[in-house]
Structures are given as C-alpha cells and as structure tokens.
Amino acid sequence: MWLITFSIDRHYNRNQDLVWIPFVIIQVVISTICGILIKKLHQQVYTDVLTGLRNRRYFCAKLPELTSKAPVSLILMDIDNFKSINDTYGHIAGDQVLQQFAGILQSNTRKTDIIARIGGEEFAIILPQTDVKKAFKIANRIRTAVENHLFSYENITCKITVSVGIASIKKGTSVDQFLKITDEALYKAKEKKNFIVMVAEG
C-alpha cells in the first residue's frame, strides 16, 4: 500500500498531503481492527467458554510467574458430589450450577486474584501477595456463600457444597511442589466435604 500510494503521488505529482492523509486513515482503521481481533483471539484462547473464567492454559502459564513473587497462596476447590447433580437434573442444569458458582467466586475475590476453571468441577484461585491466613478468610467466605446459595435453573433448585485446599509459600518453592501440596490439602478436605484444609510452607 505504501508503494502504491508513493507511485500515485509521483505519477500525478499531486499535493503530498492530499495523497497521504487517506492512506494514514486507512492504516489506522486496519491497525485498530487487527488489534481488536488479536485481543478477542487472546481472550478465546485463555477463557473458559462455559463460565467466562480463565482456563487451565492461562492458569498454568500464570502460576510460575506469580510463584516467583512470593508470598503467594493457591486455592484449589472441588464441588462436592457434582456428578449426582448431572445424573439427577441433567447436564444443562449442571452447567447452570457451574456458571452460578463462577459468579460466587468472582463476587468473593479481589481484582488481583486469578480465578480459573481447571477441570470439570474443579477450580483454582491464585492469590498474589497473600499469606495463608488471608487466603483462608477468602476461601471460607466462598465456602459459606456456596453453602447458603440456592442454585436454580428453570423449575429446578438445588444446594451444593465445596471442598477447599489451600497452600501458601514465602520462598522459592517449585510450581510442581506448590501444586502437589495444595492438591493434597484438597484431597484431605474432600474426605470430609464442605471443609477447608490449609498448608503454609516456609
């Protein structure tokens, strides 16, 4: 396009400003459209379609970056007996529960926290610059909100609970180790259900 415009300008020997102004406008429009498309593509790649939260890919990319800036806490949570909801009410109702659950997570976390759906009914929250005590308060607020919420879809209503594992690190713990200790805490919480288990690493 630059070459075409330059050729037209030299061939017709017109006022340079009159030739280049439309070209600049076209370039600005094209750049803006490309920027919007790239942003949308980025959102699609890193967004869970059902809940609108971040997805596992984004979580895996972001955790190593934030782990290097300890203190940081990680919350893993699993909806208790979610399979029974799908079996009893159907998958559409189950999807509605997941969407409403995602709304509760967004309403009870901070803007700096990263919420991701990392599995079917498993979710994670990365809490930058947060110790285990603050993480527990956030997790318990979520657990209580979920327990008290009446999930509904059309004429179907149900109650759910969530099990939560929390780990917090201060020093250079590897990402794999961080995930392992948090997952172990979640596993212990799931044994009791509607429960929180937390671990603080040095």
Q: Known catalytic residues?
A: 121
Q: What is the DSSP letter of 108?
A: T
CB-based burial, 35-63: b 16+ in 10 Å, e otherwise: eeeeeeeeeeebbbeebebbbeebbeebb
DSSP state letters, 44-91: HHHB-TTT-SEEHHHHHHHHHHHHTT-SEEEEEEEETTHHHHHHHH-H
Cα-Cα-Cα-Cα dihedral sign, residues 93, 126, 200, 107: negative
Residue length of the chain? 202
- Amino acid making up residue 115: I
User: How far is it between the farthest Cα atoms of the chain?
Assistant: 83
SS3 percent helix, strand, coil of the chain, rounded to 5, is: 55, 20, 25
Of 172, 151, 170, residue with least CA distance to 161: 151
Q: Confirm if 139 and 196 have CB atoms less than 8 A apart.
A: yes
